[in-house]
């Protein structure tokens, strides 16, 4: 077999470059930096607690970098995770995601998604209720951090 042939004969998939990716920082370098400063940042601690108590994080490293660059959002995320479950009367799970605007590459929003078995009408009403009771009062900039409802 030629050393350049793929053993499974599948086409290689394009790799997505994560938000905040720095090609000069290898995983070894990042590990070394963590060894120098083993204390987790407030953003890391918040994500760890979020994962344990509340839900799933998609692209954790990207979100961590985003929160470290937008430190004011850490408090809002903590507040959301504590208060939104008190508003919602349906079983749900949190998902944390970053969304990038396809037209403006620098425009990124962190979404706290409430995911559950809702009907479209329940999801719409739930989003309105969460916006009214929490988002409109607590979120300083919905273009950087926002809440969304996803129904499955």
Q: How confident is the model at residue 72, as a pLDDT?
A: 92
Confidence of residue 1 (pLDDT cuts 50, 70, 90): very low
Report the DSSP pairing between strands 93-100 and 55-57. parallel
pLDDT in tens, 68-81: 999 999 999 999 99
Q: Is the pLDDT of residue 40 over 60?
A: yes
Q: How confident is the model at residue 27, as a pLDDT?
A: 53
Q: Is the pLDDT of residue 13 over 50?
A: no
Q: Which two tokens stand for residue 118?
A: 């809702």
Q: How confident is the model at residue 38, as a pLDDT?
A: 56
- Residue 85: C-alpha distances to residues 50, 124, 129, 134 (Å): 13, 16, 12, 11
Q: Give the contacts of 73 (CB within 8 A, at least 6 positions apart).
A: 66, 67, 110, 144, 145
Q: Give the contacts of 60 (CB within 8 A, at least 6 positions apart).
A: 47, 51
Q: Is the pLDDT of residue 121 over 60?
A: yes
Angle between the N-to-C axes of helices 60-69 and 72-87, in degrees from 0 to 180, rounded to the nearest 10 = 120
Tell me what the mean pLDDT of segment 137-142 comes to: 92
């Amino acid at each position: 077999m030629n050393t350049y042939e793929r053993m499974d004969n599948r086409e290689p998939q394009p790799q997505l470059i994560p938000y905040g990716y720095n090609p000069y920082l290898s995983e070894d370098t990042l590990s070394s930096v963590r060894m120098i400063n083993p204390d987790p940042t407030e953003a890391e601690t918040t994500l760890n607690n979020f994962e344990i108590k509340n839900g799933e994080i998609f692209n954790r490293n990207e979100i961590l970098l985003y929160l470290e660059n937008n430190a004011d959002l850490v408090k809002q995320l903590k507040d959301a995770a504590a208060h939104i479950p008190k508003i919602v009367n349906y079983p749900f799970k949190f998902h944390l995601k970053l969304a990038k605007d396809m037209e403006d590459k620098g425009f990124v929003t962190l979404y706290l998604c409430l995911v559950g078995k809702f009907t479209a009408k329940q999801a719409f009403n739930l989003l309105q209720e969460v916006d009214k009771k929490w988002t409109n009062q607590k979120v300083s900039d919905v273009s950087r951090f926002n809440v969304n409802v996803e129904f499955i």
